[in-house]
Each structure stands twice: as structure tokens, then as C-alpha cells.
Amino acid sequence: MRVELPPEPVYFVNRDDERERALRAVTDWRSRSRPLVLALSGPGGLGKTELAVLIARTLGERFPFTDGVLSVDLDNFRADGVLDPGDVLSQLLDSLEVLPDQVQAQYAARCRQYWNRTSDAKLVLLLDNARYASEVVPLLPASGASVVIITSHGPLHDFEAGAAVDLVLPPLEERAATELLELIVRDHRLAADPEAARAVIRLCDGLPAALHVAGRWVRTHRLRPLSRLLADLTAELDEKGVSGVERIWDTAYADLSRPAALLYRLLAHHPGETFTLHSATAMSGLGLEDCQDALEELDRAGLLDLRLLSLTQAGQLRLAGPLRAHAVRQSRREAAEGEVAEAQMRLVRWFVRQAQLADRFAAGRRLTVVDLSDPVPGAPDVPLEDPEAAVDDEVRAEHAARAARWLEEERHVLFACSRLAHGREMDTEVVALSEPVWTHALDHPHQSEVIEVFRRAVDSAVRHGGNAGWLVRTRCQLARPLWESEELSEAQEQIDGAMSALQLLGDSERDRKLAASAVEHCGMLKGVRGEWNAALADFTASRDMHRAIPNPYGILLQTYRMGEASAKAGDLETARRLLSEAHAGFVAKRRERLIGRSAFALAGVLYRLGRTDEARELYQQSLGQADKRRSGFDLARVHDALAELDTAEGHLAEAEEHRAAAQTFRRRNGLV
């Protein structure tokens, strides 16, 4: 039996599922008229060729009656990127022991000769680096007893449905990547400095080729600690790329159309790790349909993986770390002057508008200090739906929850846009972005990035210097995460700064609402310090200010604050009355977050008054609201309260379930 395969790789991990699927497909294959086709696809550097070789060798060993295991790298037969299948057929016929002078001269005759030669054969044929199904079809053996293994950087969409078994390779998960690096290196430094080792593995982003580069660096520099080596390796991968794969990526990039090449270069500079179809459209300026075409072209070229679209509700995609570095290098070489800066500014303005819309839909119409931004030409808005346009209460609540989830899923991009806008002195955009981040932070507190967003907003408000409302708003926003992080002195400084700026406000409705909000924040900080009677006085004063405007929502919010303060001060009946009034008002106004939070506060008062059945019902309502918003903070504290209630009533098993759930939500959201 003729075997044309390179030696097996020295180290190969994981891919057990793909190998099992391949062998099962061979065992189950029943066709007599066409070969089984196994199509392995994924970006360069994932180990497709190595896996294909292992599968081919395994088939040759398990099926001893195989006539041969043949292998062809189609890239070896390309001229200026174009494949001549006639040359490949000549190579295959030579492998099948057809003498050179017997090979038919005409292409059609050569195809018939190949099919005739393979009609009764039992071959395993490996076709490496295919680009299109049309390149492969003429090379398929005519026998149904044969197996063809194809590797390609992108999916071969032009195959007919069901013509091939798709085996799409994802990047290695961290555990498998760790195993591979340990096999490559076998160095005590990996175990001695596990944090640095994990950083090396994350840098490689699941690409075996990158892990081999990292392994060579670790073996070469045996005296350097991993922490120092990490910086050098990062620079190496950023500047030179992944050896052995860089040529593949360069070739794929060179074959791109101008729109796809532009998009690839720009995606390297997209704020945050992820992007979506809509944000790519905004950044590229290509328009939605052209951007769709460009993304599909990148997918076919193996420079992007569109399968990730289905993994998040926001439809997020990402360039793997080494690919992102490759795109940066292409940008340095080919980007026109101002190309990246213009695209980033366009994207920031687009994200500001999307975040403002999501904020309004998630939290309802509320006080903001930056008006809604205009649409970005050629870049459609994210398809979020306005809850106010829904007739059904359940649909309305789902639309609000969807907007809140968008803020959660895109938070890292919003944080990155804030950094980018601040660096470019886009002060209006920095302040505008802080408002939806505020809405997100109410459901997901204790995130260090949130504090930095608000710090930048304060800095932009001060740098701008011409808007007193910005000064009041941004300082109040920053104060809250500071006191939640027990930075009480700095929080007080921000509140004092906000109160000092009140004298600069005018008499507009917005300015009067800002003044009332600042007084409310004074009370909230006093409450954090346990000064509940003083806090109650501030909330009462703030409510009076809202009544004078008049601002019904502000009145309700301060009624809720007064109820919480009364409960903390021990006046339970007053707290019950105030919280009942606030809860009913929030339900009437369909304020989803405050429906849940007021239900939680009222349930706590009713529990203390001995009205446990009513308390349980309200806790369950609060739990449902928190679950809709995916607020880990609220979910954890409601489960804690239900555990306490169940313990008091002797339901110990149920109480333990609630405690476990609370701990799970805290751990999942980094609140432990």
C-alpha cells in the first residue's frame, strides 16, 4: 500500500471529538457511487493539516484493504493564486502508478482517465489548502469506497448540501492549550509561575501554531522568568506574527477585495475585543450590504469565523489575538493617512447613539445631560425595540430586558469607546457614554471599569468647562461606585464638588432635576454611613424639589428612598406606607428595575412586620425582575432574603438551595 503522508506531529492534543466524528462517518458510509468527503476548516494555525494527517493515517491502519493513502498540497500547484486541477490530476495519476507518457494530454480526457483508474479503488486522499469546492470536485475518486479529507481556511460554501461532512475546528480551550504548551516545553517555570503561564496561553488565543512559537521562546530563553519573557513574546507576535502561518494569512489578505481588505485593517482597531455586523458597518463606512459581503469574504478567506455569530444575542464576533495582530501589521503597511482615526471617530459616535437608545429602552425616559445623538450615515441602528411602542405588558418588559442585555453584552466595547473618546478629547461623547454605563452599573455594581468610565466623564466635564450640568451629573455618577467600593472620603469629595456646581445651574427643568438629584446623592452617601435620619431629610427635601418642578418620576423615586431610610431607621409602618406607594407607582409607570427593587425593599419590611406570605410573594416578584435583567447583584440578595425567610419557617432544604444560588450568582458576577 502506498502511503504519501508526512510523519505524525510530535505533540498533538485534543480534537478527539473531530476524530471520532470522522471515524464514525467512515464506518457509517454506504454510498457506492461517490466517496465520503470530510471537510476540515478553520483559520490558519489551528492544526488542520496535522489533524487531517492523523485521520488519514488512522484510516490507513484500521482498513488494511485500502489501496493507498495519497496526499496533495494544492498550494503547491497554484500560480498567482490560481489552481490548475490538470496538474494535480497528473500528480495523482503518477501516485496511482500511471506512467508519465501514458497521462492524457487533454484536461477532459485526463479527468476520465483518473475516474476510470479510481472507479474500483479504496483510497484515502488528503487535499490540503483547498479554497473552493470547485477546485476539489475534479479530484474526487470515482469510488464510493474511498475517503477524501479536505482542509481549508474558510468553509467551502459552494459544496452542495450534504456533499461533505463538515468538521470545523475551534481554537483550543485553555485546558488543551495548557497541555500542549507543557508537552512542547516541559519547563519548571510553567508550574512555578502559573499566572504568567496562563498569560502566555491567553496570548496564543487557542492557536496551536502560536503555542509552538511560544514554546520555542521558552526553550530558547531558559534563564529569563516567564513574566519577562511574556513581554518579549508579545512584541515578537505583534511584530513578526506566527511563523509558518504568516505567509498563509498574507496570501489570504492579498486576495481580498478592496472593501474586505479595508474592513480587515479597520477591525484591528475596533475598540474592545469584539465587534458586530452593525458596529463593523459603522466603522468601515461601507454600508450594511457591502459590509455583509466583506465579512463573508473574510470568513471564506479564513481570516474570521462567522460561526461565533450564534453564540451571543448581540451577534458578537472577534479576530483571534494573532490574527488581530496580523491585521494591525497590514494596517501599518497599507492604511491611508487618517483612515483609522476617521473610522474610530465614526464608530464612537455610532456607539454613543446605540448606548443612548439602549439606555432609554432599558431604564425608560429619565434625566440625562446629553441629547440623543444623530444617526451615523450609512450605519443603521442596532435592532432594539422601544418598549413604549409595545401594547402588551409582557412584550414591553421583554423589550426593556433586551436593551439591558445589550448594554451588558457590549459593556467592554462601551468602556473601550470611553477610553478612545477621552484620548481624542471627544468630551461630549465621553459624558454621553457615562449615562448608559450608569444604567448598566445599577444592575451590575462593583466593576472597576465602571469607576474609570465615570472618572473620565468627570475629567471631560472639567476639561470642557462650559456645562455646569455635566459637572453635577458626572460627579454624582462617580460618587456611587466609589462608596460601593468603600471609598467614602473620595465619594464625599465628588458629592461636595457636585453641590458646589449647583450654583452654576440655571432654572430650566433639566437643571432643577439635576439639583434634586444631587441632594438625593447626598442622602444616599449619608445612608451608606448609617446616618439614616439625615438621609431621610435629604430624600424629603429632594422630593419637595421634584414636586415643585413638577416631576412625577422623581417624586416616586424619592418616596422609595424615604421608605428605605425609614425602614433602616426602624419606623416600619411609615416605611411600609411609603414603599407601597412607590411600588404601586413604579408598576403603573412600568419601571422594570424599580418594580423589582421596591418589591424587595417592601418585602423586607413586611417580613419584619411578620407578614411573611406577602413578603414571599414580593420576593418572588423581585426575583423574576432581576432574572429578566440578568442582574447578578439583585439575584444574589433576593436569594439571601428567601433563604432567611425559609430558615425562619423551618424549610431548611429550600433555604440551603437559596444560599447556594446566591453564592453562585456572586461568584459568576465577581461579587465574592
User: Span 571-672: which CATH code?
Assistant: 1.25.40
pLDDT tens profile 259-290: 999 999 999 999 988 899 999 999 999 999 99
pLDDT tens profile 50-92: 999 999 988 888 776 678 899 999 988 887 778 888 899 999 9
- The confidence band for 473, taking pLDDT boundaries of 50, 70 and 90, is very high
Dist CA 509 CA 553 (whole Å): 13
- The confidence band for 653, taking pLDDT boundaries of 50, 70 and 90, is very high
The CATH H-level superfamily of 2-168 is P-loop containing nucleotide triphosphate hydrolases (3.40.50.300)
- Give the model's pLDDT for residue 339: 96
365: which DSSP letter?
A: S
Q: Which residue has the cell 472507479?
A: 119
- The confidence band for 312, taking pLDDT boundaries of 50, 70 and 90, is low
6: which DSSP letter?
A: P
Q: Out of 91-105, 156-170, 292-306, pick the least confident.
A: 156-170
| Residue 160, pLDDT above cutoff 90 | no
| Residue 580, pLDDT above cutoff 60 | yes
For 148, the enclosing helix (H) or strand (E) is: strand 147-152
Q: Are 312 and 240 in contact (CB under 8 A)?
A: no
For 167, the enclosing helix (H) or strand (E) is: strand 165-168
pLDDT tens profile 113-150: 999 999 988 999 999 999 888 888 889 999 888 999 99
- Give the model's pLDDT for residue 568: 96
- Give the model's pLDDT for residue 79: 78
Q: Find residue 152's DSSP bridge partners.
A: 41, 130
pLDDT tens profile 510-552: 999 999 999 999 999 999 999 999 999 999 999 999 999 999 9
- Give the model's pLDDT for residue 42: 86
Of 305 and 545, more confident: 545
Cα–Cα separations (whole angstroms), residue 53 to 70, 163, 250, 517: 10, 21, 24, 67
**How many residues appear in the chain?**
672
Q: Out of 141-145, 218-222, 502-506, 555-559, pick the least confident.
A: 218-222
Here the cell at position 282 is: 459603522
pLDDT tens profile 358-399: 999 999 888 999 999 999 999 999 999 999 999 888 899 899
Q: Are 271 and 279 in contact (CB under 8 A)?
A: no
pLDDT tens profile 188-210: 888 888 898 898 888 888 888 88
- The confidence band for 575, taking pLDDT boundaries of 50, 70 and 90, is very high
Other residues' Cβ atoms within 10 Å of the Cβ of residue 10 = 8
pLDDT tens profile 206-259: 888 888 888 888 888 888 888 888 888 888 778 888 877 888 888 889 989 999
For 263, the enclosing helix (H) or strand (E) is: helix 258-267
Dist CA 425 CA 605 (whole Å): 48
- Give the model's pLDDT for residue 672: 58
* Cα–Cα nearest to 454, from 466, 661, 442, 668: 442
In this prediction, residues 574-591 reach a mean pLDDT of: 95
Cα–Cα separations (whole angstroms), residue 129 to 41, 57, 155, 293: 9, 18, 11, 23
In this prediction, residues 413-436 reach a mean pLDDT of: 97
